Structure 1
Amino acid sequence: MFAKFLLTVAMIALIWFGFRFAQRLTQQKQRPVTRERGDKPRFTPDEDGESVRDLIKCPRCDTWRGQSLGSCGRGDCPY
């Protein structure tokens, strides 16, 4: 008798949670895709390679700069 009761409760719970899962899936399909707060935009470099540069450490002021950017502003900067 007790086994029949547990089986009935388990079947009702299975149907209930299955229905809730199906509702959640249909809501996610209808909702537009947005980024969550923790997600960061993914970097994709340009085809020409201009968005990716090698950085060089300035021996005078210890900053990292692209070589094509020129001087860091100090008089003794080698770039």
Structure 2
Amino acid sequence: MFGKFLLTVAVIAIIWFGYKYLGHLAELKRRDSSPRPSERPGREPRDAKVDAEAMVECRVCGTWQPSRTARSCGKADCPY
């Protein structure tokens, strides 16, 4: 009697965990087949258009400006 109960519990556990495992495999397959954000047509990755530019700090007023287009802050001692 107890042996039949354990066998029934074992069969149910095997079916349950097998079902969860197959669901997990299906989810992994779905993720692999879906296009990644960088592969979607008409969209470029965020970092594709990023051009970093050096910044310089005005030693008079403390503001930061792009080094190529730095302009005077209007104060007498401004180096730009």
Q: Where does structure 2 lack aligned partners over 5 or more consecutive residues?
A: 39-44
Tell me if structure 1 keeps the 8 A contact 2:56–2:64. Answer: yes
Q: Where does structure 1 lack aligned partners over 5 or more consecutive residues?
A: none
> Which has the higher Rg, Structure 1 or Structure 2?
2
Distance 1:43 1:62 in 2: 31
TM-score (normalizing by structure 2): 0.60
Identity of aligned residues (%): 19
* Structure with the larger helix share: 2
Name the Cα RMSD after superposition: 3.0
SS in 2 for 1:69: coil
Q: How far does residue 43 in structure 1 lie from its aligned partner after superposition?
A: 7.2
Q: What residue is the counterpart of 1:34 in the other structure?
A: 37
Tell me if structure 1 keeps the 8 A contact 2:56–2:67. Answer: yes
TM-score (normalizing by structure 1): 0.61
